[in-house]
Amino acid sequence: MNPENILEVKNLKVRFPIHGGIFLKKVAEVKAVDGVTLNLTRGETLGLVGESGCGKSTVGKAIINILKFNSPDAIIEGEVLLKTDEGIIDLVKLTPTEMRKHRGNIQMIFQDPYSSLNSRLSVGQIIEEPMLYHTSMNKKERLEKVSWLLEKVGLNPDQSKRYPHEFSGGQRQRIGIARALATNPRIIIADEPVSALDVSIQAQVINLLQSLQKDFDLSLIFIAHDLSVVEYISSKIAVMYLGNIVELGRSADIYHKPIHPYSKALLSAVPLPDPKRKGKERVILKGDVPTPLNKPTGCGFRTRCPIARDECALNVPPLELKRDDHFAACPYSE
C-alpha cells in the first residue's frame, strides 16, 4: 500500500444474483460494479460522478461494507484496504462483527436527510449514538461533544432536545454530518449529500463540508451526479460508466480537457450560464445506457461511442495514463 494513501480500492466487483423459477435458481446477475480501482490520500476529496445506475452509490456502500445488510446475496470481490492505527485492514474480508470495530474510522453521509435520521430519537440522541459504540465517554462528555458538534455544523446546541421533523432539509443534513463526525473518522463517504436539497442550501452544505474537512483533516469520497458541485469540492474526479471507472484525474483537468468520449459527452451536458456558448460543443450520445444485466463485451461504452471500432468489443480497456496524473480507459481517444 502506498504510504500516502489512506484508502485503496483494488479491482472491486459487486454482483447481485437474480433468482427465478420455482426452485429459485440463479438466472442472471447484475454487475453493478465491475472492477473499480481507486486511491484516496489524506485530506483529499475524490469526486465520483456518473449518471443514475452507474454503480457509484454501490461503490460507496461496498467500501463501508453495508451492502450485505440489505442484500445478503451480493457477491463482493476485490480489496478495500483501509489504513488504521492497527495497520492495514481489508474491509471486504471482515465479518460483520469484526467490521463493527472499525466503523468509527469511516463514516457515511446519506442522500436523503428525511429518511436518514431516525424520527423517534432526538437530535442529541442521534449524534450521540456513534459515540456509544466507539468511545468510552460518559454521559456528560458525550453531551458536551454533541453541543460542540452541533455548533461546528452551524446549529444551535440548544436544539439537541428537538426531533428531526422540526428541522428543514438543510438542517437535517447538518445533523447527518454532525453524526458522521462524532467518532472522529478519517474518511467520510458522502453519497449525494446535497442532491435532495435546494440549490441555495446546497452551497451552504458544501461550504460547511469543505471547512469541516480542513478542521477535521478528513478524506472525502464525494458521490454525485451534479458535475458543477463535484468540480467545486473535489480535488480528484473519477467518472463512472456502467460499473467501470472510465476516466480519473485532477478535477480541473477532467473538467476542461476530458479524454474519454463518455466524459466529453457528460461534461458537454453541463449547463453553462454563458449565452455565447449556447448550442456549441454539445456532444449528444445515441441510444440508452445498456442494462448492467447484460453488459456489452469489451468496452461497456462501445454501443454508444462516437469513435467505437470493431476492436472495442474484444477486451475491456484498462485505465491508462494519458497525461500528467490523468487516466482514461480508452485506447483511441486523446
Partner 1 sequence: MPENKINNTEEEKKKVSVSIFQKRWKKFKTLKRGYISFVVIVTAFLISFILPLFVGKSALLVHYNGEYYFPLFKTYQATDLGQKRDAYGEANYRFLKQQYSEEDQGNWVLMPFYPYGPNENLLNELEGNPPHPPSGEHWAGTDDRGRDVFARLLYGFNIGLSFALVVTFFSYIIGIAIGAILGFYGGKVDILGQRFIEIWGTLPFLYVIIIISSIINPNFFLLVLILTLFNWIGMTYYMRGEFYREKARDYVAAAVSMGAKNKTVIFKHILPNSLTPVISYAPFAIVANIFSLVSLDFLGFGLPPPTPSWGQLMQQGLTNIDYWWLILTPLLAMFLTLLMITFIGEAIREAFDPKVYSRLR
Burial of 229 (0-12, 13-18, 19+ CB in 10 A): buried
Beta carbon nearer to partner 1, 99 or 246: 99
Between the alpha carbon of residue 245 and those of residues 55, 56, 68, 226, 249, the distances in Å are 10, 9, 23, 17, 11
Cα of first residue to Cα of last residue in the chain, in angstroms, is 30
**Three-state DSSP state, 53:** coil
Q: Which is nearer to partner 1, 193 or 300 (CB)?
A: 193
Taking the least distance from each CB to partner 1, the nearer of 171 and 263 is 171
Question: In the bound complex, what is the minimum distance in angstroms from residue 251's beta carbon to partner 1?
Answer: 23
Region of 35 (left: φ > 0; alpha: ψ -120 to 50; beta: rest) is: left
Q: Is 147 in the site for partner 1 (CB under 8 A)?
A: no
Contact with partner 1 (CB under 8 A): which of 47, 50, 55, 104? 104
Q: Considering CB under 8 A, how many residues would be counted as binding partner 1? A: 45
* Contact status: 115 vs partner 1 (CB under 8 A): yes
* 158 or 274: CB nearest partner 1: 158
Of 197 and 285, which CB lies nearer to partner 1 in the complex structure?
Answer: 197
Among residues 204, 216, 235, 283, the one that binds partner 1 under rule CB under 8 A: 204
C-alpha distances out from residue 326 to 226, 235, 254, 322, Å: 21, 12, 8, 6
Q: State the Cα–Cα distance between residues 40 and 46, nearest whole angstrom.
A: 7
156 lies in the site for partner 1, by CB under 8 A: yes
Residues that bind partner 1 (CB under 8 A): 61, 64, 66, 69-70, 72, 100-101, 103-104, 107-108, 110-112, 115-122, 129-130, 133-134, 154-156, 158-159, 161-163, 165-166, 171, 176, 179, 183, 204, 207-208, 211
